[in-house]
Structure 1
């Protein structure tokens, strides 16, 4: 980092969030894109909505061209203090019991424990019905 380079805190950059004064943080650098708002191919609201946060992922997701990246130098005003950027939450999958194919047999046993007595009862009723009329 150059000794002349200005270092900004994210909360200071986020105050520049209007059409008359718009700053962004991309890759640890601060850009004043106010003069570019009208010319931005994605519209000015895309840039306005990216203020107050690290917009690096938003910028990279779009897939900007090398000429767009070269234009950024014109709007560079300083660096961001990385300690002021909130850490991104890491994805943690929900905890669930691992699939156990051996549990399938337990399920079948429970069903059979329920169905077998019903079948026996049904057969007993049928036998009684048909033997009674003879």
Structure 2
């Protein structure tokens, strides 16, 4: 039993299509990448975009490094039952988990990234004007 991987049906894998529960099919293998969503260099949107289909071509088109391919093994949870893969499947938009609390923080960071340099320039200008008047 040790080392034996489970065989999953396509619909079961396709149902794991949100940030908090994301599975992918690559080269006949099933990967649970849920814990990797925040770490993926391309962001979670890239991974969510390839749920509900065989993501092999998308994965290969990017040209992932050998270390990325080795890293995948820790997310490998089983194999896909090829007989359950539809010949043609319409695109299903992945469902996002509503209300990601980190998104509000992103807006604050963007505002600060804009305002802080302006405040620094204003302060520098004020100091320059003050020293000129003396």
Same fold, judged at TM 0.5 (above): yes
Question: What residue is the counterpart of 1:19 in the other structure?
Answer: 19
Q: CA deviation at 1:4?
A: 2.7
Q: RMSD over aligned Cα, in angstroms?
A: 1.9
**Pair 1:53 & 2:53 matched:** yes
With a CA cutoff of 8 Å and minimum separation of 6, indicate the structure with the bigger relative contact order: 2
| Structure 2 CA distance for aligned equivalents of residues 5 and 35 of structure 1 | 19
Q: CA deviation at 1:49?
A: 1.1
Question: What residue is the counterpart of 2:73 in the other structure?
Answer: 73
| Structure 2 CA distance for aligned equivalents of residues 83 and 52 of structure 1 | 15
Q: For 1:1-134, what aligned pairs fall within 5 Å after superposition?
A: 4-87=4-87
**Shift in alpha-carbon separation, 1:39–1:3, aligned structure 2, 3 A:** closer
| Structure 1 CA distance for aligned equivalents of residues 14 and 54 of structure 2 | 10
| Structure 2 CA distance for aligned equivalents of residues 14 and 51 of structure 1 | 6
Q: CA deviation at 1:86?
A: 2.8
| Structure 2 CA distance for aligned equivalents of residues 34 and 3 of structure 1 | 21
Larger radius of gyration: 1
| TM-score normalised per structure 1 | 0.62
The runs of at least 4 aligned residues of structure 1 exceeding 2 Å deviation read none
Q: CA deviation at 1:80?
A: 0.2
| Structure 2 CA distance for aligned equivalents of residues 3 and 75 of structure 1 | 14
Q: CA deviation at 1:85?
A: 1.8
The DSSP-based 3-state class of the residue aligned with 1:42 is coil
| Structure 2 CA distance for aligned equivalents of residues 76 and 25 of structure 1 | 10
The DSSP-based 3-state class of the residue aligned with 2:73 is helix
| Structure 1 CA distance for aligned equivalents of residues 58 and 86 of structure 2 | 16
